[in-house]
Amino acid sequence: MTEQFTSYDDMVAQVITTCGPDIRLATILGLGKPNRLINALYDTVKGRSDLSLTIFTALSLNPPEPSSDLETRFLTPFVQRLYGKDFPRLKYADDMKAGRLPENIHVEEFYTQPGSYVKSAQGQQNYNSLNYTEVADALSTKGINVVFQRVSVNETGHYSLSSNTDLTQDVLDRIQQAGQPRPFCVGEVDHNLPWVGGKAVIPSQFFDAIVSVSSTNDRVFALPRQPVNDGDFAIGFYASLLVKDGGTLQIGIGALADALCYALVLRHTDNSLYRKIINALNPDILSSTLVQEFGGCEPFETGVYGCSEMVNEGFRVLVEHGIMKRRVVDNLTLMRKQNTGELSVEEQETVESEGKYLRGGFYLGSPEFYQWIEEQGVQSNTLEMDRIGRINSVTGPDYELEVEQRRHARFMNICMMATPLGGAASETLPDGRVVSGVGGQYNFVSMAADLPEARSVLMFHAARGDNQESNVRWNLSNLTIPRHLRDIYVTEYGIADLRFASDEECIKRMISVSTSGSAASLKETAVAAGKLNASFDVSAIKQQNSPDILESRLSEFRRSGSLIDYPLGSDFTPVEQKLITALQILKRSTSTTAGKLQLIYRALTTQLPDYEEEVSRMSLSEPTSLKEKLTARLLRYALFSSE
Average pLDDT over residues 460-489: 94
**Residue 1 pLDDT level (bands cut at 50, 70, 90):** confident
pLDDT at residue 381, as a whole number: 76
Give the containing element (helix H, strand E) for 489.
strand 488-491
**Residue 204 pLDDT level (bands cut at 50, 70, 90):** confident
The answer, yes or no, to whether residue 50 has pLDDT greater than 90, is yes
Strands laid side by side in the 494-497 sheet: 383-385, 358-363, 305-311, 248-251, 409-414, 455-459, 488-491, 494-497
pLDDT at residue 380, as a whole number: 65
Contact 240, 260 (CB under 8 A): yes
Confidence (pTM)? 0.95
Contact 170, 160 (CB under 8 A): no
Average pLDDT over residues 359-387: 90
| The CA-based dihedral angle spanning residues 30, 35, 41, 47, taken in that order and rounded to the nearest 10 degrees | 110
In sequence order, the β-bridge partners of residue 202 are 159
Angle, nearest 10°, between helix axes 35-46 and 8-19?
A: 60
The answer, yes or no, to whether residue 253 has pLDDT greater than 90, is no
Q: How far apart are CA 19 and CA 51, in angstroms?
A: 11
Q: What is the pLDDT of residues 589-611, one digit of tens each?
A: 888 898 899 999 999 999 999 99
When the pLDDT of each residue in the chain is averaged and rounded to a whole number, the result is 95
Q: How far apart are CA 614 and CA 131, in angstroms?
A: 44
The answer, yes or no, to whether residue 288 has pLDDT greater than 80, is yes
Question: Where are the alpha helices (H) located in 35-183, listed in sequence order?
Answer: 35-46, 69-83, 91-97, 121-125, 135-139, 168-177
Residue, of 205 and 92, whose pLDDT is higher: 92
| The CA-based dihedral angle spanning residues 348, 352, 355, 359, taken in that order and rounded to the nearest 10 degrees | 130
Contact 478, 428 (CB under 8 A): yes
- Upper half-sphere CA count for residue 204 (Cβ side, 13 Å): 8
Contact 546, 515 (CB under 8 A): yes
Question: Where are the alpha helices (H) located in 358-440, listed in sequence order?
Answer: 367-379, 388-391, 399-405
Instruction: Report the 10 Å Cβ neighbour count for 559.
Output: 9
Q: How far apart are CA 53 and CA 397, in angstroms?
A: 38
Q: What percent of the chain has pLDDT over 70?
A: 100
In sequence order, the β-bridge partners of residue 489 are 458, 496
Fill in the DSSP letter of residue 52. Answer: E
The answer, yes or no, to whether residue 365 has pLDDT greater than 90, is yes
Sorted by sequence, the CB contacts under 8 Å of residue 171 that are 6+ apart come out as 26, 135, 136, 139, 140, 144, 147
Q: What is the pLDDT of residues 382-428, one digit of tens each?
A: 899 999 999 999 998 999 999 999 999 999 999 999 999 999 999 99
| 3-state secondary structure (DSSP) of residue 88 | coil
Q: What is the pLDDT of residues 442-473, one digit of tens each?
A: 999 999 999 999 999 999 999 998 789 999 99
Q: What percent of the chain has pLDDT over 90?
A: 93
Average pLDDT over residues 626-638: 95
Reported for 630-635, long-range contacts at CB under 8 A and 24+ positions apart, including other chains, are 630/600, 631/69, 631/70, 633/603, 633/604, 633/608, 634/586, 634/599, 634/600, 634/603, 635/70, 635/582, 635/586, 635/611
By DSSP bridging, strand 305-311 and strand 248-251 are: parallel
